Each structure stands twice: as structure tokens, then as C-alpha cells.
Structure 1
Amino acid sequence: MTTKPGRRRRARAEHGGTLDEAHWNTSVAEFGDHLRTSRQLSSYTVRNYTSDIAAYGEFLRLRQVADLDKADRRFLRDYLAWLLELGYVKASVSRKLTALRAFYRFLADRGDVERDQTDLVSSPRLDRRLPVAATRREVETLLEGPDTATDIGVRDRAILEVLYSAGLRVAEICSLDIGDIDFSDSELRVIGKGDKERVALLGRPALAALSGYLNESRGELSVKTSETALFLNRYGSRLSARSVERLVKRYAVNAGLDPDFHTHTLRHSFATHLLDGGADLRVVQDLMGHSSPATTQIYTYVSTEQARRVYLNSHPRAARSNQIPTQNQP
């Protein structure tokens, strides 16, 4: 009589066993393959999900739990509390729970676990956080950072210009191929979340930076003539998301910007500056690739708050008092 893998792990755990590392690593790797092939998620998302599951593995080892069926509601709550104690913000903990739910569904479908209680645990209540946008002057300072006397600097200038001009996610700019650029119509073909295709627009500075990169510098980086990726690393391969995040952070630090400035700050700035300029919310939604207008709506609050700060700091009367008297007030 054969025993299901889940039963074998459960028996070991009941006798004080530890996590079967070989089986665990195989399960996590196969989960990543499932996300990549069946769900067609980007390599960036797959890496984040498998990293989140690795954190769960650390907790299993800490608690000396080998049987994944022992992850009841209380155990999972303890895991979330442990993450918060480690200093993870609520948004990160919520994402890790989302990854864990997907992992348990995957294991349940294969028969590796008999029960999945992850849906019984609620995500931490998130504090409402408005996206932080840089000012136009700060963005200009950032864009001037790369040394365009070097091939890497020319590439980096093009990356920064495209991130801001088109409002791209980091995974989107890394997945761009040369053939995705349409210089005649100032457009980019972008594959966003869920493999949804959209058209992004490019301004003159971004087009000029791209043209300079393609004509002067990309050929110096390309050691593989068959490589179709738009942005290459110094070894001629497609630039990774982590590399883009690092270069943006480096230029932000060099420019003296907020230490929390990152690639998504440019995307936030893209949306906020469009709305400040009078763009329609639906147009901004389409340009950003948001499936729901509610996701884009949050940028209207940022724009309103900026308008309030400008008013209070600039208007001679507003500086004295920002309260509007009612009819009963003298």
C-alpha cells in the first residue's frame, strides 16, 4: 500500500521530525515552474513569490514543523505575527500571505496536502498610504545624473527617460525588445501584468535618449548578435529588474533625493504630473495599464494634496488661516 507524500511528512512531524529539505526545495521549484508556465506570470513576480515561500520555510524550520497540514489558522497567524516582528510592513506581509495561499492551492491540487486553511486567515489591515511622487525639478535632477560620455551612462539615461515618460513598471521596461519601439508614432508596445498588451507614449526627450542609445551605445554592449532585448547589461544580456532598481537608487542617492526613491517613484510621478497637468483620469488609467479605475483614483488624492500645499504656502491669505468661515462666523 503506497502512502501519499503528505501522509509521510505528517508522520515524521508527529515524531519530532524536521522539514524534508530536498522535498521542500523541489516543491518550491515546481511551484515556480507552475507560476511561470500555467499562470504565465513574469519572472519578476515568480521570483518574489518563491522568495516569499522561502520566508515561510524559515518559519517552519524555526518551529520544527515538517507537516504542512499542521498549518492551521493559529499557526498561520503566528507566522504573520513573526513577519511583523521581523520588521516587515503590512503590505509586504499581505503579499507573503497571497503567495502562501497560491502555494497551498498548488500543493492541494497535487495531493501534497489534505487541507488548506490559508483562506481562514485575513491579511493585515493596510494603512492607507498615498503614493509618493517626486517634484518635476527632482525628476529633472535625476535624469541629468548619468554620465552620457560613457555607453553605460547613455543606456542609463535612456532607461530613466523611458521610465518617467511612459510610466512603466520595472518588469515592463526590462521585457522591452528593440522591435517594441515605434519611432514614427512615438509609441512603445508594452506587455504588462497578466500579459496584457498596451501602447505607451514617449516624449521627445525619451525618444532622443533611445535614439542615442541605439545608435551609439547598444552596439558596444551587444556581444550576442541575436539578442533582441532593448536594454542590455555590460555582458550583452537582457538587463534584470534588480539591476534597474539598483541603478535608479544609485542615481537618486547621487542627486540627493529621498532615500526611499525607487523605480516606482517615477511611475507615481508620471501619473501625478499628468493629473496636475489636467489629464483625464481614464486616459491616465489606460497609459498606466490599470485594469480598474480605482487603482488610478488614488493619484487624484496626491494631486489634490499637492494643490493644497501649494495654496497654503503661496496664497497671501491662506498662509494666515486655512479655515473657511461659516455664515455664523463674524
Structure 2
Amino acid sequence: MVTSGAGEESAPEALPESMARVLGDYERHLTSERDLTAHTVRAYLGDLAGLLDHATRLGLDDVTQLDLRTLRSWLAKQQTMGRSRTTIARRATAARVFTAWLARTGRAPSDAGASLGSPKKHKSLPPVLRADEASDLIRAATERADDGSPVGLRDVAMLELLYATGIRVGELVGLDIDDLDTQRQVVRVFGKGRKERSVPYGRPAARAVDRWLTSGRPSLRIEGAGAALFLGARGRRIDQRAVRELVHRRIADVPGAPDMGPHGLRHTAATHLLEGGADLRSVQELLGHASLATTQLYTHVTTDRLRQAYRQAHPRA
């Protein structure tokens, strides 16, 4: 990237041919074998291009020369440039996964990143809606849909499903009609890495989705829409940006509610499940978290709420 001021990275040099070829092989591995999304692949390649550019500036011209010292030097440079702990941790992960692949595929004699550490990320408590605010959100969207417009019916169905299931916005827009099991009230979701899971939803979401399918979707659908569950105003599969804009608009209709997007509804669903007595392992499975540690973040949210309630109510708090 071109230098534009203090703290910016200098323009990258052209990578040696052997490094560029390996980076191309790795891109094909991420896309074809690991089946990662285009966004994730771009993020990985961007980080690794920066690493290899740094190695080139240190005089290396082949991935077999990568060592722990070079990796640590690259991360140290990120820190001096003011990169956040979260960004540095992500780039360290990208480097470790890359060097492990190099060793596994015989492109490097050993795994240079096996001992590479990374700073612990600061885990801030995500904003969530109270149960009454979540109800007000759905109610406000329903009132706007009282005219029976297809878009209004769709919006209510999407909000209900997001809050009922806690699925990611990318998972929502990727749903097909056949992914719904209306008899069992379960939706089949393909999460990160195309991992499949089944998530239940309740009667309010079932009613909203049924109204959308019977009275809304047929009016918007055009040729080429395929089996997409949710359609945009032009009749094709809705995109993530439109869903994010919808959530922000409808949240603004709820007085006092914190501004959030679809991921905020995911946080809200997880928090309300735990507050209602769901066990951590079940919530992990519903959300599609690979690690229980990720789900445990929500226990901090519920504990924080409990502590606040205690301080307000107990005479000796």
C-alpha cells in the first residue's frame, strides 16, 4: 500500500517469483480445500502478503527461509506502527496457519510458526438488548408491516429469525427455502468453513416466516431468484448490507436501545438464552462456535447484569 502519512506501511515490493507462486498455491488451498469465504481468503492473503514483503525486505527470497525470528520481527513492526492487539493477534494466527501448511505440504523443512505467540485480545462486552427492547424491536417492525407490503413482511421475518436463532447475517442471507423444516421448526445453517448445524426457532418466528413465504415472497420473486429464502427489493437473494441497514433502522425505532447490527442480535439471543437457563454447551452448538471460550464471553455479559441488579437492590451492596 502507498505511504500516506505517519504510521502507514511503506509500499510493498514485488515478491520474489517463488514466494508469489507459493502464495497463489495457498490461495487455491483456502478456496478449494478449506472452502473459506472470499472475504476470509482476502484477509488471510493480505496478512501473508505483508509478512512475505517484510521477509523480502530482510533479504529473504524463498519461504523455506522463514524462521521464528522473522515472524517475530514482523509482528513487532505491527506493534510499532500502532496496530491494535486484535489485529496483531489475527495476523499471528494467519502466520501460524500458513507456516503449518508449508511444513505439512513439504514446502518448508519445518514449521517456523509453531512457537509463535500473540498478544491476548481485549474482549469487550458486546451491547445487547433487554428482553423488552427485543420485543419492542419486533413490535415496531410489525407495525410498519401492517400494510401487508412484501418488504415489510420480509423484514419482520428476518428480524424474528435473527433473534430467535442467533445466526450470523451471512448465514441468514445464504438460507434457501429447503433449509427450513417447518414441521420441526428447525433451520439448517451452513456456518464458517461450510460446517452444517441445525438451529430451532419458536412459534413467533415460524408465523412471521410463513406470512413472508405465502404473502410476501411470491410478490417479489423474479426469474433467477432460485430457492433463496429472503429476497431483496429487486427480487433476487438479499445481500448482507441490506440486512445490516434494516437492523440499524429498526433499532432506531426503539427508545433507549443501543445501536447495533445483526451481530448485536446474535449477542442478544445468546445472552437471553443463558439468562433463561440454557447451558453453555448448548448455546455453543446453537451459535456454531468452534471454541467454548468464544461462547463464554456471554457469561460475562450475564454476570455483569446480575452484579448491576445486585448493587441496585441489595441494602448492603
TM-score normalised over the length of structure 2: 0.75
Cα separation, partners in 2 of 1:23 and 1:187, compared to 1, 3 Å: same
Structure 2 distance, partners of 1:257, 1:201, is 26
**Aligned position for 1:289:** 288
User: For the residues of structure 2 that align with 1:145 and 1:160, how far apart are their CA atoms?
Assistant: 8
Q: How many Å separate the matches in 2 of 1:249 and 1:113?
A: 47
| Number of the residue aligned with 2:7 | none
The one-letter code sitting in structure 2 at the alignment partner of 1:206 is A
Secondary structure, counterpart of 1:279 in structure 2? coil
Write the deviation string for residues 143-186 of structure 1: whole angstroms up to 9, x where unpaired: 33584354334323222211110111233223211011122222
Aligned residues: 298
Percent sequence identity is: 35
Contact kept? 1:94, 1:123, Cα under 8 Å: yes
Counterpart position of 2:223? 224
CA deviation after TM superposition for structure 1 residue 242, in Å: 4.7
User: Which of the residues 109, 122, 133 maps onto 1:138?
Assistant: 133
Aligned-residue offset at 1:132: 3.9
Larger Rg: 1
The equivalent of 2:204 in structure 1 is 205
How far, CA to CA, are the matches of 1:227 and 1:105 in structure 2?
A: 40
Equivalences for residues 70-149 of structure 1 within 5 A? 71-84=66-79, 88-107=83-102, 116-143=111-138, 144-145=140-141, 147-148=144-145, 149=147
Counterpart-to-counterpart distance in 2, 1:31 and 1:118: 16
Equivalent AA in structure 2 for residue 33 of structure 1 = R
CA distance in 2 between partners of 1:155 and 1:85 (Å): 48
Return the letter of the residue paired with 1:126.
Answer: K
Give, as a single letter, the amino acid of the residue that structure 1 aligns with 2:176: D
One-letter amino acid matched to 1:48: T
Q: Structure 2: 5+ residue runs without aligned partners?
A: 1-11
Compared with structure 1, are the counterparts of its residues 122 and 170 closer, same or farther at alpha carbon in structure 2 (3 Å cutoff)?
same
Separation in 1 of the partners of 2:249 and 2:27? Answer: 30
- Residues 254 and 295 of structure 1: CA distance in aligned 2, closer, same or farther (over 3 Å): same
Q: Aligned equivalents of 2:226 and 2:271: distance in 1?
A: 35
Measured against aligned partners, the alpha-carbon deviations of 1:177-197 in whole angstroms (never above 9, x if no partner) come to 101112222221223344443
Distance of 2:16 and 2:184 partners within structure 1: 53
Whole-angstrom distance in 2 between the partners of 1:253 and 1:75: 48
Cα offset, 1:274, TM superposition: 1.7
Letter in 2 for 1:133: V
Provide the rounded CA distance (Å) in 1 between the counterparts of 2:83 and 2:249: 23
RMSD across aligned positions (CA): 3.5
Quickly say closer, same or farther: Cα 1:281–1:139, change in 2 above 3 A: same
Which 5+ residue runs of structure 1 have no aligned equivalent?
1-16, 323-330
In structure 2, the residue matched to 1:154 is: 153
